[in-house]
Amino acid sequence: MAGDYDYARNELEEDEMKIKTGIEYMDSLKQLNPVIYYMGKKIKDVTEHPATAPHVRAAAMTYAIAVQDEYKDLATATSHLTGRTIGRFTHVHQSVEDLIKKVKLLRLLGQKTGTCFQRCVGFDGINAVYSTVYEIDQKYKTNYMERFKKWLIRIQDENLMVVGAMTDPKGDRSKGPAEQKDPDQYLHIVERRENGIVIRGAKLHMTGAVNSHEILIMPTTAMNESSKDYAFICSVPIDAPGIIMIFGRQANDSRRDMNESIDVGKPSFGVVGGEAVIVFEDVFVPWENVFMDGETDFTGLVVHRFAAHHRANYGACKTGLMDVLTGAVTYLAHSQGTAKGSHVRDKVTEMIHLSETLYSSSIACSAEGVPTSSGAYMVDTMLANVCKHNVTRFHFEVARLAVDLAGGFIATLPSEHDLQSEEVGHLVKKYFLGVEGIPVEDRIKIGRLIEAMTGGTAMVESMHGAGSPQAQRIMIFREGQLNKKMKLAKALAGIPQRKKFYHHNSARSDRNIIF
């Protein structure tokens, strides 16, 4: 079910993007033939299967709002490559204004869907790869940028959804890619042909993979010369021969699969982003779609830039989800007659405070953005890591407050079948009634929405999506400019600068730490 939203409403001019409306996006997926498994069985149509359809509809919202006059300024952009109007999710940031518009767009979409709308990983991959391949070309006189531009123009003109594929299985994590007993634990090149490369391995936890059009593959970590076959960037269609996807389970998916609309909590949209394992079994990639091949000294840079862009997003999209959750709890309090309680108002106020604080963090790292040598803009990497680290605390606290305010009601609700039962339905309606005038069905629906947004998968994704909290703490320490801060303190205390006696290697040589 698509809810109350008309995905086909409005259209852009015919000379603009090939895929314009949400319904056109869903129709485009029907033209693909990917190999996807769920619960041991193949999925024939991701737009119809109950496990994947909610995630398709969430992604469709990114197209649907772009054709509404109210949101066009946020959801579309002007391509710096062609001058044509494009979807913002295929855009390369050209200014601080672009970075801030992205933040506002992501919060809006979080509010519209209450879940992950899945296009951010590909969006951030496009921006990280664009600036990185430019610098590879500058150093090695390669032609990766021209290949990438040609590919990107097609992505922009057709308005395709791209899944960014970065996370490898990693196997024994005490060992690097080339040291693994099983070389497939990191996606790698197994053959270089005259017309392209052949790759083998897998990428895990890929958000939106099953309902994207293309896969943008990136390395998952900084690498040394021994890992040249693992140091590559390329793109492939999701239905390329040799690609197999395995769709992951999520909280309450049995309710969703049985079309229990009320018990699902969010019947139109998924719980999170619809993650999948992508297996590459000797997949061929033509040279025109290869954007890095063995330049190991740039693997760390593309990972660093991708991570920063992606971590900046979380203060926006998760704020949109927190807005929905705050509204849901407020409505539930009204339906139960507790809205005027001082402790209720205080906790709702704290939920608002945490949401806006998180949002300001996302705005800040965008406002402090700077251009790279390619001209593409980069968020402030320190503030981006702070932003994502705040998500791992603030979103959980908002969820905790929501569950606190909702009470045990959301954990012990009878099922939709009981509500509709001829034998006991009248009892459910009698004893779960709250404030007069508010239907018991509405109270149950909002309770299930709170349950869906505070339990299981959603909270794990907020904690570990875009890197675990420790990943941000490492980057925050590296980017903390401790050398500069110690000099400030020493100057005020009248301590002279002395011989360096400890040197900590950093990913950024201009921010090395000296004690």
- The Cα 363–Cα 358 span in angstroms is 9
The 3-state secondary structure of 7-42 reads CCCCCCCCCCCCCCCHHHHHHHHHCCCCEEEECCEE
Task: Examine the residue annotation and report whether 317 is marked as an active-site residue of this protein.
Answer: yes
- The Cα 228–Cα 219 span in angstroms is 11
Structure tokens at 433: 């009634």
Give me the catalytic one of 93, 116, 134, 395: 116
Task: Examine the residue annotation and report whether 191 is marked as an active-site residue of this protein.
Answer: no
Structure tokens at 40: 């041991």
Give me the catalytic one of 234, 317, 365, 387: 317
Give me the catalytic one of 310, 365, 377, 479: 310
Angle, in degrees to the nearest 10, between helices 457-464 and 299-336? 140
Sequence letter at residue 492: L
Q: What is the DSSP string of 304-366?
A: HHHHHHHHHHHHHHHHHHHHHHHHHHHHHHHHHT-TT-HHHHHHHHHHHHHHHHHHHHHHHHH
Run of H or E residues at 451: helix 440-454
Task: Examine the residue annotation and report whether 310 is marked as an active-site residue of this protein.
Answer: yes
Residues β-bridged to residue 235:
216
Q: Are 171 and 187 in contact (CB under 8 A)?
A: no
Task: Examine the residue annotation and report whether 234 is marked as an active-site residue of this protein.
Answer: no
Q: Are 253 and 161 in contact (CB under 8 A)?
A: no
Task: Examine the residue annotation and report whether 205 is marked as an active-site residue of this protein.
Answer: no
* Cα dihedral: 266, 271, 272, 276 (round 10): -120
Q: Are 411 and 171 in contact (CB under 8 A)?
A: no
Sequence letter at residue 45: D
Give me the catalytic one of 38, 134, 186, 314: 314
Q: Are 454 and 377 in contact (CB under 8 A)?
A: no
Give the residue from 39, 29, 26, 58 showing the smallest Cα distance to 266. Answer: 58
- Beta-carbon neighbour count of residue 253 at 10 Å? 20
Give me the catalytic one of 214, 275, 295, 479: 275
Task: Examine the residue annotation and report whether 120 is marked as an active-site residue of this protein.
Answer: yes
- The Cα 22–Cα 8 span in angstroms is 6
Q: Are 291 and 217 in contact (CB under 8 A)?
A: no
Q: Are 320 and 108 in contact (CB under 8 A)?
A: yes
Give me the catalytic one of 63, 90, 113, 120: 120
Give me the catalytic one of 85, 113, 115, 207: 207
Q: Are 229 and 294 in contact (CB under 8 A)?
A: yes
Q: Point out the residues that are catalytic.
A: 116, 120, 207, 275, 310, 314, 317, 461
